[in-house]
Structure 1
Amino acid sequence: MNAEQWKKVQTLFKEIVDLEPDQRTLRLESVKTEDPLLYDELYSLLSADSQETSLLDGFAIERVDLSDLVPMDGVQVGPYRVAEKIGTGGMGNVYLAHRVQGGFEQTVALKLTKYGMGTPRAIEHFEAERSILASLQHPNIARLIDGGITDEGRPWFAMEYVQGENLISWCDRLSLPVKKRLKLFLKVCEAVQYAHKNLIVHRDLKPANIMVTGEDTDPQVRLLDFGIAQILEGPDDPGSERRAMTRAYASPEQRDGRPTSTSSDIYSLGVILHQLLSGCHPDPKFRSEGCLPSPVDRELEAICGMALTEDPERRFESASEMSDEIRSWLNERPVSVYSKAPLYRAGKWLKRNRAASFIGIFSIISIIILVFIYTMELKSETERAQSEADRATRIASVLGSSLLSIDPMQNQGQELTALGMVDMSSAYINTELKEDPRTRAELLILMADVYANLIALEKADSISALAVGLWKESQQDTTSFTYINMLADRSIILDKAGKYDEAMDVMQQALSLANENLEPGSLEFASVYLDYTYHLDVNQDYARADSVLRLVEPIYENNAEEAGQTYDDFVFYMGTNYRRLGEYELAEEYLFRSLELSRARYPGIHEKIASTLNHISSLYQNMGRYEDAISYAIDAHEMRLEIFGPGHLNTIAAHSNTARAYGGAGRLEESAETYRDVLTIFREEYGNENFYIAGILQSYGNVYLRMEEYAQAEEIMREALDHSERLLPADHIRQAYPLKGLAEALRGQQRCDEAMPFAERAYTLRSNQLPGDHPELMTTRYTLGRCLWDLDRQDEAETHLRDALAFFRDNPERFESQIRELEALGL
């Protein structure tokens, strides 16, 4: 049957369907006489229509798909020529088509109503569908490109053609672990939430409508086919309520023909999530034959269960609420739909803060061990040995009670903190070891290091000061390595607390004592100077750090085996400092050597490995190798998540580095989203009054500079500068980061007169403290020069801009846009 014949069938069907039975019989007899073929087709359609069906199903003729009878291949629809049929949607068929008009090539997914569906209701639905899709602009939703009505009255629209693999098939093919599956599923939830916020329900969510595109290492999720979506505030279409769905993924209210809402999509998401995790549909009657579901984590099962509740009112209120629970599971936080019991929440805290818990417990155990060793050293003095052994037993007993306090049953669900555990240990030391200042001082400096690692910097400062004071007041040997090392530790703590001048004074004392009392070629001597490089790194004095590292290099290279882990640290510091100096080939050599050493010493996962991975990522960002940088940053972040949980400062640092790598690669939305996550986690764990916030904000603001959203960048940079000015000395070189960023944000808004003071301050700080060809100094000179140029001060600007351009030309991959801009100025 051809299209012309089908039009005759349509016309006759509409003429006859409403006739009285006797009149219908007479008219059919006349058709049979005129055209027996048409009679047979018409009779079968009228018979199907007379079957006992709900009015909601519409006319039988509307269910006929004549695509197989009337081929579409080669037919032109609007500016597109159909290539082949690739699918069938709720109200129409989908074809692969190519643009043949308009002067450019384009491949689309072309959607048409089926033959016989050019009714006013169908046309109205398709026009609404076009309107809906045109309003949806989201990176995870396939976009509408074009649309119209054919000469035959058939609505059509062209959608972005997405080549990929459905979500579940893609995950199964790569045997993707649960966490990576969930991260992809979160993108689906984000797209659905976006549609819901725009008052649009998808109503046919299923794996076939969720495609994964791109490389296996960098997947992108795209939602397809909003062909049965409805505008919530618009009129309900009862005809589509029954037809337009896939029963295996439809909510109970859809299958029963009841009104639907966003909650129907939540149900479908629950089905997809369960299938994604278990490998099988949650309802046995919809499973493929022989499908045996894999076990699903109990907390994730609870999330699925909440979404799959029969009563729509008891499901998640939104896709974002469902996402929040999934993120809680990923971040090892309590999943509220699973349990709200205090014991469960305490257990989640311990798991999430395994490193912090370990620090607290380890500090207690370390005290016991140190006191035990101290006691054993006195065993030659029988009476005193007995007394000290009793003391060790007493310490073990009291600290054993401290360990019991970690038990959630003892805490009755009260929030546990590593800081509380360390406070308890410190209080015990100060109370029980009052008469033993030497042991007390040694243990307090250990506690100070723990406090510093927990970002309790004021306590770390006061405890380390107390330790040094006790040692001196009790007239212990101030020329010993123990005391010198104590001073070096205190200097590092002061640096972390932002007390740089005091840190330098204490480090100078340590260096002076080391030079006077330690063997210059000894490992003890080298370790003090290695600690000194930390101070130099914090203050960005990389040239002096290089000199110090070269000083101790022969000591470590000649005593590598004896130095053990400290030798590994030395190699790592060499790599990081070469990176800071811009010596990227040497940095790569040392960092990969460090990685090899750490993996040999610590098979499996370890912070030393994660730290090196993170610095390799930073190196590759410096070198412009951003995709490599992303890979190493993600590896470092995932390893630290496994070791520490999400709230530890080291994990946050790797997470932030991942955001920075995304930004370098031009993946700015991902970068901004990751920085937002970093800020949220950091503020939850450490509050807002912390120097590290300034660095995160400054990096976050840089993303908006890259997006050319200068007002938003200005707001973030001002907040970063406020933190820096309150928490750092005025001449600290790290002040230059937000100063330069704020200058760029203001310049982007043509406010160069306001930008100049900030650009000048950044230039002064960096020119006084960095080598003349340092990349950060050169980019600052570029910013300052552009401000001067825009203020018609070209003579002053040219010196800065010509020097910057020469540097940029030596690094064209990183500074391509700046080179083009400066050359356009005639420089």
Structure 2
Amino acid sequence: MAITAPSTQAWREVMALFDRWADADEGTRAAELKRIEAEHPTLYPRLMAMIEADRAAEARDFLAEAAQVPAAEPEAASHWTGTRLGAWALREPVGSGGMGQVWLATRSDGLYAGRAAVKLLHATRMDAQAQARFAREGEFLARLTHPHIAQLLDAGLTADGTRYLVLEYVPGVRIDHWCDARKLGIEARLKLFMQVCEAVAFAHSHLVVHRDLKPANILVTDEGHAKLLDFGVAKLLAGDDDAELTELTRAAPAGLTPEYAAPEQIEGQPITTATDVYALGVVLFGLLSGARPYANTSRGVAALARAIVEEPPRSLTQALRESPDASASRGATLASLQQAVRGDLETIVAKALKKAPEERYATVQELRDDLQRHLDHQPVSAQVDTFGYRARKFAQRNRVQVAALAGVMLSLVLGITATAWQWRSAVHEADRTKAVIKVLTHIFTDLSPEESGKAQVPVVELLRKGWSQAKQELQSDPALRGEVARPLGLMLQSSGDMANALEALTISRQHLVDSGQTSTPQYLQVMQSLAYMKSRIGQTEEAKVLLAELIDVAQRTGRSSTVEAVNAQIELGEILRREGKLADAQQQLAKAATLAARHLGAAHPSHIHALQEQAVALRELGRWPEARQALASAVQSVASAKPVHGLLARYDLAMFELDLGQYREAVKQLLPLIDELRKYYGEGDTYTIYSLASLAIGHFHGGEHGKAAVALDDALQRAIRSSEPDVRQIVQTIAARHALRRDDCFLAEPLLRANLAHFESGDGASRPFAERNRMLLAECELRRGRATAARALLDVTLKHQHEIYGPRHADLWPTLMLKAIAIDAEQGAAVASPSYDAACAMALALLPEGHPDRRKVQVMRDQAHWRSQATPQHRAALLASLRAYGEVLAQRPDAQTFSVLSKELLEQGPTARLSPSPLLALMAY
């Protein structure tokens, strides 16, 4: 029976109960245990196990003959070389400090290859209870799994009483040196520092305080990912009273660095999460200025300690003025650096460095959020909140939107004024103009933070209010309302508000019909926008009617070469593709691409869009070479177009490599592309988020799970903050899939259920996403041994997928394969073999040559044949498919474990009933 690890909350509660028992007098402990058993019956067995471990440790008295760890010199440390500590063998010392030595270690038990950093800690005498606490905290800290924390893998005692910690080995450079070597600017340094904040905040949420944050404990990998080291080591070493911290004024004790110590550490006061906030403030001060908060630090530890407790820290601008060399390592002039840190950043750092813990940021997350607000040009919480400050921030972060809104509204005023000349009554003209000005006044009044009640007013919110105001104020003049509806409707559509945009453009269309303007460019523009929106919300038939009318009007009026007419042809092709009419869709899109190139030019966005959509249709048809050619043509077409179109074409090419199973090539293309997407579109844009999620997929299928976790966490954090519909759920689907491949149903299931509920409540376009999540829920059931429940879910999924796609689609073969595994688990390989054959045939028909999954499905099919009938021919076929798949996986870091799975599959007999576990493990590759 599988044993489920207790939750973090349970561990906290058990440890609290252990402390309650340990603090009781010897004579009252038995009574205390009875009370605990009555109050917490479910936690009582775990508590007793911990108490037994504590008593066993006391009986053994491991540290009775504690020995000192040797000094850092190679000669003195040489006797440790080759020493085995559990599964790890020490190879060579790589560093030392007041707490002991750090050794490079390699895995020595033969299960798999790996490296780790082992800290040999100076041994001090500990009683038996302290030993038990050390082991208990080591186990707890090992559960701190975060992309930016070097994980604690093991902790223990050597035979001579030396304590050791086995940590994830991080090949990297300390954060300040890494930034200086690359001459990173202020913004890049802040983003890297925010990764550190996320790691510290995560640990704080698990009740662990670092207490020795400094640049030397923060390494950055070549890929630019921060890794925090020694998390919790200070907590492991310190006693409950932290008495040793009061020795700072004489010398720096183990586990404490004077330059980064908070005032409460100097004075021996209680340590809280605010202590880490202070240390992070010092680290940030150094990253931004290249200096420390206190200028006179060369007079010794005692003088530094007095400065930390008594003197105010320098400002960032003062530190830069006194360290003029800092500008060279930041790729900027001294004046521009001082300008960059003046104001918000100085205030943020000053708040983190407050002497009194309660005056600092209450949490590290608050510090990180203020830095994010600064980068987003939003008001920071550390600043005094004034109207002028908030208004200035609004203007900074909305330069483009406000300018665009002002331009459109200005053109609206001019357009209405021009139209008004046609009216015979000057009074009527004045009244109409006044009505429009009143609408605009209300819109721009809402830009004021005083009116809106918040510093940031999204443009879409202003447009919604503008449309609402226009409907109300212009109700008595339908013609004028129809005029206003078109520009507002188009802007609402661009801002993503489909409901209000549909209403406005429907009114605009009716106005154009009533006024006899159905042959104008404005009518074609409104028709195209209406058709696009109706298509996106699932009103496909209405969209097709509008598109047909648009094309007919364009032909009758000689406007077939206009952007609107060409885009209508492209939209029809997209609709056909979504309906599963792939051959018709490909022909329609090829025709649209030809029209766009002929009338608009090869570099026009419509031509590039047509080629990209054509590539999607060809890919779904399984015509991969033609799809690649269409994308290549799109990339070639953007050579003379705007940079944005080139970015999107390159993005599509990277996605194409991902679909081909060329994961290394996709990663190679995505890494530089992501930086450009961030620069052009912004950190929170959908393209940026999806490119990060795609990078995670590439890393994951390349066997680089650590890198995949970092990229996916980045994408998920951005997706959570995104206002775009479905973005969060789509990224969560990827996160759930990766969790399942790691056999973590506990993490995956709630994500999948939330996603399924979201997509099932959406329109027709959401149905494919709903079925992907239902399929993954079935996989979760399979992994938990519930084959019958899994099969029921898969039957529903297949029914819906056939309704959506018809008999052929790339989404079908994974569902068919999972169903085969479910039948296998219920009835055996012989019954399941036809299902394996069907899934394999579907995959081979749709996957391109060279895709790794072609080899995977052949292994799945051949293992079922071998287990159904163990003939030499079937064994040879399975052996050949395993060998071929092994060659595909040879470049992956985790390729060695595939041989274990291969052996297990080969050993199955003709009547063997195989658990789904090894087959699902194969699906993870």
Same structural fold, with TM-score higher than 0.5 when normalized by the shorter chain: yes
The number of aligned residues is 746
Partner SS for 1:337: coil
Q: Structure 1 CA distance, aligned partners of 2:539 and 2:225?
A: 45
* 2:225 equivalent in structure 1: 219
1:210 aligns with 2:215: no
Instruction: State yes or no: 1:367 paired with 2:412.
Output: yes
| CA displacement, residues 226-258 of structure 1 (integer Å, 9 cap, x when unaligned) | 654347783434277532322222222333455
Distance 1:194 1:136, change over 3 A: farther
SS for the counterpart of 1:87 is strand
Contact 1:711-1:749 within 8 A present in 2 as well = no
1:623 matched to which residue of 2? Answer: 660
Residue matched to 1:23:
none
Alpha-carbon distance in 1 for matches of 2:190, 2:464: 38
The correspondence for 1:270, drawn from 261, 264, 281, is 281
Counterparts of residues 714-733 of structure 1 (less than 5 Å): 714-729=749-764
Cα separation, partners in 2 of 1:643 and 1:217, compared to 1, 3 Å = same
Task: Say whether 1:73 aligns with 2:84.
Answer: no
What is the Cα deviation at residue 323 of structure 1? 2.7
Residue 185 in structure 1 maps to residue 226 in structure 2: no
Name the amino acid aligned to 1:72: A
CA distance change for structure 1 residues 791 and 668 in 2, over 3 Å: closer, same or farther? Answer: farther
User: Retained in 1: the 8 A contact 2:667–2:699?
Assistant: yes
1:762-801 matched pairs, under 5 angstroms: 762-767=797-802, 770=805, 774-792=809-827, 793-794=831-832, 797-801=835-839
**Cα 1:187–1:565 shift into 2, 3 Å:** closer
Report the Cα offset of residue 490 of structure 1.
0.9
Letter in 2 for 1:457: M
Q: Which runs of 5+ in 1 are unaligned?
A: 1-61
Gaps of 5+ in 2: 1-66, 299-318, 327-336, 867-925
Q: Report the CA distance shift for 1:83/1:660 in structure 2 as closer, same or farther (over 3 A).
A: closer
1:602-613 equivalent positions in 2, closer than 5 A = 602=642, 606=644, 608-613=645-650
Residues 539 and 733 of structure 1 are in contact (CA less than 8 Å); yes or no, is this contact kept in structure 2? no
Query: In the alignment, which of 304, 327, 330 is matched to residue 349 of structure 2?
Result: 304
Specify the code of the residue in structure 2 equivalent to 1:621. Answer: L
Q: Identify which of 852, 863, 886 aligns with 1:813.
A: 852
1:616–1:406 Cα change, 3 Å: farther
Q: Secondary structure at the match of 2:811?
A: helix
SS of equivalent to 2:78: coil
Match of 1:47 in 2: none
Q: Which has the larger radius of gyration?
A: 1
Look up the match of 1:465. Answer: 506
Partner residue, 2:587: 547
Contact 1:280 1:292 in 2 (8 A): no
Matched position secondary structure for 1:221: strand
Contact 1:166/1:207 (<8 A) preserved? yes
The answer as to whether partners of 1:495 and 1:503 remain within 8 angstroms in 2 is yes
Judged with a 3 Å threshold, the aligned counterparts in structure 2 of structure 1 residues 619 and 181 are, in CA distance, closer, same or farther, namely farther
Alpha-carbon shift at residue 696 of structure 1 (Å): 4.8
SS in 1 for 2:713: helix
Q: Which residue in 2 is equivalent to 1:323?
A: 368
Identity across the alignment (%): 21
Q: How does 1:49-448 map to 2 (within 5 A)?
A: 71-76=76-81, 78-79=83-84, 85-95=93-103, 109=117, 111-112=119-120, 120=125, 132-137=137-142, 138-139=145-146, 140-141=149-150, 143=152, 145=154, 147-149=156-158, 159-213=167-221, 216-217=222-223, 219-224=225-230, 228-230=234-236, 234-238=240-244, 241-242=247-248, 243-244=253-254, 245-286=256-297, 292-293=325-326, 294-295=337-338, 296-297=340-341, 298-345=343-390, 347-349=392-394, 351-352=396-397, 357=402, 360-368=405-413, 370-371=415-416, 397-398=437-438, 401=441, 404-405=444-445, 407-408=447-448, 411=451, 413-414=453-454, 416-426=457-467, 441=482, 443-448=484-489
Are the aligned partners of 2:519 and 2:553 in contact in 1 as well (CA < 8 Å)?
Answer: yes
CA distance in 2, matches of 1:280, 1:155: 35
Structure 2 SS opposite 1:285: coil
Name the SS of the counterpart of 1:727 in structure 2: coil
Q: CA deviation at 1:767?
A: 3.7
Which SS does the other structure have where 2:220 is aligned?
strand
CA distance in 1, matches of 2:634, 2:578: 21
Give the SS at the match of 1:211. strand
CA distance in 2, matches of 1:525, 1:610: 25
Does residue 1:557 correspond to 2:557, yes or no? no
Structure 1 residues 347 and 413: alpha-carbon distance in aligned structure 2, compared to 1, 3 A threshold: farther
Show CA shifts across 1:683-715 (max 9, x none): xx36xxx66665455444333333333354343
Paired amino acid for 1:763: L
In the other structure, the counterpart of 2:841 is 803
Contact 1:546–1:577, Cα closer than 8 Å, also in 2? yes
CA deviation map 1:265-295 (0-9, x unaligned) = 2221111111112222232234999665553
Q: 1:586 to 1:333 in 2, by over 3 A?
A: farther
Paired amino acid for 1:813: P
| Separation in 1, partners of 2:485, 2:282 | 55
1:439/1:364 CA distance change after superposition, 3 Å: same
Q: Does 1:507 align with 2:518?
A: no
Residue pairs, 1:653-802, within 5 angstroms: 666=705, 667=707, 669-670=709-710, 673-674=713-714, 676-682=716-722, 685=723, 695-710=730-745, 712-729=747-764, 735-767=770-802, 770=805, 774-792=809-827, 793-794=831-832, 797-802=835-840
Cα RMSD over matched residues?
Answer: 4.6
**How far did 1:492 drift?**
0.8
Identify if the C-alpha distance between structure 1 residues 757 and 301 changes in structure 2 by more than 3 Å, giving closer, same or farther: same
- From the superposition, tell whether residues 146 and 236 of structure 1 become closer, same or farther in structure 2 (CA, over 3 Å): closer
- 1:143 shift after superposition: 2.8
Q: How does the TM-score come out when normalised to structure 2?
A: 0.69
1:529 aligns with 2:569: yes
Structure 1 residue 723 displacement after superposition: 2.9
Partner of 2:64: none
SS at match of 2:219: strand
Q: 1:441 to 1:121 in 2, by over 3 A?
A: same
Distance 1:818 1:515, change over 3 A: same
In 2, the alpha carbon distance for the partners of 1:102 and 1:648 equals 46
Q: Judging changes above 3 Å, is the alpha-carbon distance between structure 1 residues 577 and 239 closer, same or farther for their aligned structure 2 residues?
A: same
Q: Structure 2: which amino acid aligns with 1:238?
A: E
Query: 1:800 is matched by which residue type in structure 2?
Result: A
- Over 3 Å counting, the alpha-carbon distance change for 1:120 and 1:796 in structure 2 is closer
Residue identity in the other structure for 1:620 = E
Q: CA deviation at 1:748?
A: 3.2
Question: Partners of 1:482 and 1:656 in 2: how far apart?
Answer: 39
Structure 2 CA distance for partners of 1:765 and 1:400, relative to 1, 3 Å: closer
Cα distance between partner residues in 2 of 1:610 and 1:492? 23
CA contact (8 A) 2:490 2:529 kept: yes
**Match for residue 15 of structure 1?**
none
- The SS at the match of 2:296 is helix
Cα drift, residue 512 of structure 1:
4.4
Is contact 2:654–2:666 with CA below 8 Å preserved after alignment? yes
Change (3 A) 1:740 1:448: farther
Farther-moved stretch of structure 1 (389-398 vs 787-796): 389-398
2:495 to 454, 459, 465: 454
Mapped pair 1:498 → 2:503: no
Indicate if the aligned counterparts of 1:356 and 1:454 stay in contact, CA closer than 8 A.
no
Distance in 2 (CA, whole Å) between partners of 1:738 and 1:641 is: 29
- Kindly state the Cα deviation for residue 654 of structure 1 after the two structures are TM-superposed: 5.3
| 1:169 Cα deviation from its structure 2 partner | 0.7
Q: SS at the partner of 2:865?
A: coil
8 Å CA contact 1:784–1:800 kept in 2: the answer is no
Cα distance in 2, alignment partners of residues 220 and 458 from structure 1: 43
Q: Distance in 2 between matches of 1:263 and 1:730?
A: 48
SS of the aligned residue for 2:227 comes to strand
